[in-house]
Amino acid sequence: MIPAAHNPLVDWSQNRRTVILALLYAAVIAASFYLAYEIRFEFIVPDSYQQERLRLLTLVVGVKLVALVLTRQLGSMMTYFSIPDLLRLIWAMLAASAALLFIRFIGLIDVSPPRGVVLTDFMLCLGALCLGRIGTRLYRERLSGAKRAITGAPEQRIAIIGAGDAGASLAKEFINAPSRGFRPVVFFDDDPEKHGKRVHGLPVIGRPEAIDDARHGVAFSKAIIAMPSAPAKRVREIVTLFAQRGMKVETLPSLEELASGRVKATRIRPVEVEDLLGREAVNLDAAGIRQRIEGRCIMVTGAGGSIGSELCRQMGALHPKRLLLVEQSEAALFVAEQELNELGFGGVMVALVGDILDRERMEFIFGRYRPEVVFHAAAHKHVYLMERQPAEAIRNNVLGTRQLAGIAAAHGVDAFVLISTDKAINPTSVMGATKRLAEIQLMAMAASTEPVTKEGKMTTDGWKPAKTKFMAVRFGNVLGSSGSVVPIFRKQIAAGGPVTVTHPDVTRYFMTIPEAVGLVLQSFVLGNGGEIFVLDMGQPVKIVDLARQMIELSGLRLGHDIEIKFTGLKPGEKLFEELRHRTESHAPTNHPRVMRFTSNAMFSESDIRELERRLYELDANQLKAILKRLVPEYTPFLE
């Protein structure tokens, strides 16, 4: 290694600062020791003690400077002072005072300070050093920051909702950094014990519902919700309350965002629809999930998508031996790889460009890396797009899953988890029917006592592989995923509308991406093979209500600034999604938010082979007819 070039100017600058700081500390120490004698003798110091004080002055300054050096206070920046620095100063002064008392006790020198002087000197010196450090910090944070803020944007007076740790930290940061342009003036909190008290000098008025009374005495133009653990229902009530009064509302990150390490606790952001529709945190078997992931080679297909990338983020933190990111989109894979690198998972991650339909590529990946668990998230999932191109949906969702599962079984993979959808239940769309057929194939593979070939066919030919546990996990719409209504509505609102909704009564189940993935991992722990797990998706949400909430969050008024337009249901679209098929039986699991379904659905191997052979020979209606034979509960839209 070539050493860095020596820069005498930098060294001189650093040494000069250290010398100046040492001289300042020496002056404070000397003044404190001198004044300690005055206080001890009530400002009438006898002549004999006058001489003693002068003889000891050099010794005291030297001992205390050595103590400060040992506690690394001479190397600290004066304008940064916190609890750790305070503790170091206390230890330094205690050690120095103890040393002076020890010198007096053993009689190392012929003069020594009285015990009262040593005690008084300790308090004076510690207080003076702390006041000096606090003063320089206040100058940096308040006065210097205020000067910088004069030339900036006008100061915003804000209310903080939540007088807990998060709210107090936020208020402290704003007070200490006026250059950010925010001035907290009042707190709101649901806890009645905090009402009437003060946090960092700011009054806690009452519950957020007391906004009208508060605004008579305190003026503010914006509110920030500082309640990371608040349920979505409460956040929704607060946002509605303040929005009705024409007030902008922002929020701090949720507990899930903070736990992921992707955001800081003081990062303010606008309230998103995810905050209003999200649900209470899910309790997962973290130890069980870690045990199934740690030290194993995990493969995720569709790793560049919303669910696939979140699977990689959550499992990367569980210390797998290797994490294989398989994705056909080079651009999406690059983004996922960069994000995981930033999270510190580069050492276990392998980004692999590959299409699940490319048998040779998949064979190479399985043979080279030997994955032990496969999470299959790659799929064509856009309902209306796939309705017009059923061949592509069948090829990717059915034949691709079939082939990948066969390769996994042939290579002795321990578990294969299919990411499915609630649209697979009594499907009316090609996308839903293909996902249901993918489920049926996996359940048939799980139930078969015969070996499975690499093509996914159940036959007695060939080598009999180790038994792979096949399972599927269904869940509803994921907030913020590509193609979901949320980004579509955002774009329409930004363009000035109208916001298009297919039908006033259409409803959907929604989950956040971290919640859905957490429950997928929980289902993986619960699975023994041959199950379809359905996640508890809460209450369905009317899409028109979702559109209305998003319009209000944007500061617009429905009917005045922007309109909602109903366009009619698209082919393959349902008014509402169902939780299970009539032939499926329900069985509880050890987790209250995960349900297990078992199905006796059968399928025809000959029909599957016909689909594979004539995929691009048959028209859309003919393909849908074959799908109908394979999935009897499917209600196709025929043109």
Asked if pLDDT for residue 602 goes beyond 80, the answer is no
Paired tokens of 122: 């300790």
**Cβ 462 vs Cβ 451: under 8 Å:** yes
Among candidate residues 230, 154, 74, the one with its CA nearest the CA of residue 238? 230
Which residue in this structure is represented by tokens 């003798």? 41
pLDDT at site 241: 85
Given this model, what pLDDT does residue 148 score? Answer: 47
Higher pLDDT, 579 or 134: 134
The CATH classification number of 156-271 equals 3.40.50.720
Contact criterion met (CB below 8 Å) for 403 and 357: yes
| 180: nearest Cα among 156, 210, 205 | 156
3-class SS of residue 156: strand
Q: Which amino acid is at 616?
A: Y
Q: Are 228 and 254 in contact (CB under 8 A)?
A: yes
Fold matches, 156-271 and 287-478+511-537+579-602:
yes
For residue 622, count other CB atoms closer than 10 A to its CB. Answer: 12
In terms of pLDDT, which residue wins out, 378 or 9?
378
Measured distance CA(624)–CA(604) in Å, rounded: 15
What pLDDT is recorded for position 227? 84
CA distances from 52 to 15, 118, 369, 601 (A): 33, 13, 79, 100
Split at pLDDT 50, 70, 90, the class of 316 is very high
Q: Which residue has tokens 């971290």? A: 514
With the C-alpha atoms ordered 273, 274, 279, 280, is the resulting torsion angle positive or negative? Answer: negative
* Concatenated DSSP letters of 181-242: SEEEEEEE-S-GGGTT-EETTEEEEE-GGGHHHHHHHS--SEEEE--TT--HHHHHHHHHHH
Residue 449 has pLDDT above 70, yes or no: no
Q: Which of 268-272, 535-539, 621-625 has the highest mean pLDDT?
A: 621-625
Which range, 111-115, 220-224, 288-292, 546-550, is most confident? Answer: 288-292
Buried b / exposed e over 442-455, threshold 16 CB at 10 Å, is bbbbbeeeebbbbe
| Superfamily of the domain at 287-478+511-537+579-602 | NAD(P)-binding Rossmann-like Domain (3.40.50.720)
Residue 526 near residue 589 (C-beta atoms within 8 A): yes
Residue 309 has pLDDT above 90, yes or no: yes
Beta bridge pairs of residue 300: 325, 375
Residue ranges of the domains in the chain?
14-148, 156-271, 287-478+511-537+579-602
- Distance CA(537)–CA(535), nearest Å, equals 6
Q: To the nearest 5 percent, what fractions of the chain are helix, strand and coil?
A: 50, 15, 35
| pLDDT: which is higher, 423 or 585 | 423
Tens-digit pLDDT profile for residues 31-79: 888 888 888 888 888 887 888 888 788 888 888 888 888 877 766 555 6
DSSP string, 129-144: HHHHHHHHHHIIIIII
Instruction: Give the pLDDT confidence of 459-503 residue by residue, as tens digits.
Output: 433 334 458 999 999 887 777 666 678 888 888 888 888 999 988
Please state, in angstroms and rounded to a whole number, the distance separating the CA atoms of residues 178 and 136: 16
Query: CB within 8 A of 146, min separation 6: which ones?
Result: 178, 179
Determine the Cα–Cα distance for residues 24 and 31; give it in Å rounded to an integer: 11
Contact of 221 with 157, CB cutoff 8 Å: yes
Please count the CA atoms within 13 angstroms of the CA of 412 that sit on its side-chain side.
8
Among 152-166, 305-319, 403-417, 572-586, name the one with the lowest average pLDDT.
572-586
